[in-house]
Amino acid sequence: MPHENHPGLIYCRAPRSAVFLGGSQLKLKQLLFAVLLLGIVSGAWVLQGYMSIESARRDVLMMDTFVSVLADGRQAEKVLDDAIVEMQRLEALLSAHVEGSDVYRINQARGEQVSVSTETIEVLLVAEEAFRQTNGAFDVTLGAVLKLWGFGTDDRRVPSAAELLEVLAGVGFANVEFSREGQWVRLKHPGTRLDFGGVAKGYIVDRAAEFIASRGIRHAVVDAGGDVRIVGGRPNIPRWRGARPARVGVQDPTNRANLIAVVSVMDAAVLTSGDYERYFVEDGMRYSHIIDPRTGRPVQGLSSVTIVTSKAAVADALATAVMVLGQEAGMSLIESLDGVEALLITAEQELIMSSGMAALTEILR
Ligand code: AMP
Ligand code: MG
């Protein structure tokens, strides 16, 4: 406002930018214009900040499945490229079928100590804990049994009882000796073979998610064929709407093109084991790739098990274990664990949920 005694004088505190823009004798109009301009410039600057948050996505074939990774954040494209490279490195380390991998070398070592990477020790620690928690239903020493059934090869067949008895002698986590500090592994029984197929995918999903988060990305999804870990919430929604839970579909075991349920979570893993994922049929019998370590035979009973918990590696091991344990023992294990929920689909396609699961789940039928 002009001062009544000094009509030529602008009577107001000039913002610093006005001083910068107009010098000492700014007229009101000029000042308003300057403030407006400042508003536009700073608005554009903030907008540009929002826009530079990239949304990126990668789809690759890996770990015998389709892997999709999505992220919102600065340099998301680069971060996802690096995450994929890291996942490929881990797959090559942990697969029993890749020549020269840690697991391959352990299996070939004829009882000698084998130096391994930290990652292999980390997977063994998860596997050991799962073996203990599940009374041996989850057991990474089933490698020789899986090979006998031909899983992981083109030559699947039903072995004889005598063959099974022979390879079962090497099954049991007590046959694995390993040192965290020394970073070595040794198989004590000549027949023991490791197979990380029931836990490695989850572990790799975790590592990718943690890598992405460590690069400053706030919202991301790592999806390995339906085995998912969410960093933050759902990517690719406008920032002003805030963080939203990500929605993860659970397939209908009788028709994989359909979803039977949707689970909504933030900062969590959602992971499914199913008897429909890998199996073969002989003489009208269906043989699933999940083996009961007590008998050496494929499990029967549940169609699928979906686990929700913070770590995908843990979810992976538990999902496989609950397939082995079956509905009752499986559900009582889940209820005994903190921060773990489950959705079971029985052979009759009945849906059974743990106490905290319904709050996260939308049933689609
Ligand atoms: P998933 O799809 O996570 O249930 O893993 C199944 C894979 O885990 C199989 O293809 C085998 O490589 C391995 N596996 C099968 N049965 C078991 C078991 N009882 N404990 C641990 N791993 C298993
Ligand atoms: Mg598993």
Q: Give, using CA atoms, the residue closest to atom 12 of ligand 1.
A: 197
Q: CA 158, CA 297: separation in Å to the nearest integer?
A: 9
Q: Both tokens of residue 111?
A: 């009882």
Percent of the chain with pLDDT over 90: 76
Taking 70 as the threshold, does the pLDDT of residue 95 lie above it? yes
* Helix (H) or strand (E) run with residue 221 in it: strand 219-224
315 lines ligand 1 (CB under 6 A): no
Calpha distance 251→248 (Å, rounded): 10
Q: How confident is the model at residue 19 (pLDDT cuts 50, 70, 90)?
A: very low
The Cα 193–Cα 174 span in angstroms is: 12
Per DSSP, the three-state class of 181 is: coil
Q: Tens digits of per-residue pLDDT, 179-235? A: 999 999 999 999 999 999 999 999 999 999 999 999 999 999 999 999 999 999 999
List the strands of the sheet with 269-274, edge to edge.
54-62, 65-73, 219-224, 227-231, 269-274, 302-309, 341-346, 351-353
201 CA closest ligand 1 atom index: 3
Q: Tell me how far apart the alpha carbons of residues 32 and 158 are, in angstroms, rounded to a whole number.
A: 85
Can you give the pLDDT at residue 2? Answer: 47
By the 8 A CB rule, do 139 and 131 touch?
A: yes
pLDDT digits (tens, 9 = 90+) for 254-270: 998 999 999 999 999 99
Quote the DSSP letter at residue 348. T
Q: Ligand 1, atom 3: nearest CA belongs to which residue? A: 198
pLDDT surpasses 50 at 282: yes
Provide the residue ranges of all domains of the chain, joining segments of one domain with +: 2-44
pLDDT exceeds 60 at position 16: no
Per-residue pLDDT tens over the stretch 319-354: 999 999 999 999 999 999 999 999 999 999 999 999
Q: What ligand is nearest to the CA atom of residue 276?
A: 1
Residue 289: CB within 6 Å of ligand 1? Answer: yes
How many Cβ atoms are within 10 Å of 88's Cβ, its own excluded? 15
On whether the CB atoms of residues 72 and 220 are closer than 8 A, the answer is yes
CA end-to-end span of the chain: 68
| Structural tokens at position 296 | 């050496």
DSSP class of residue 363 equals E
Residue 364 CA, ligand 2 centroid: distance in Å: 24
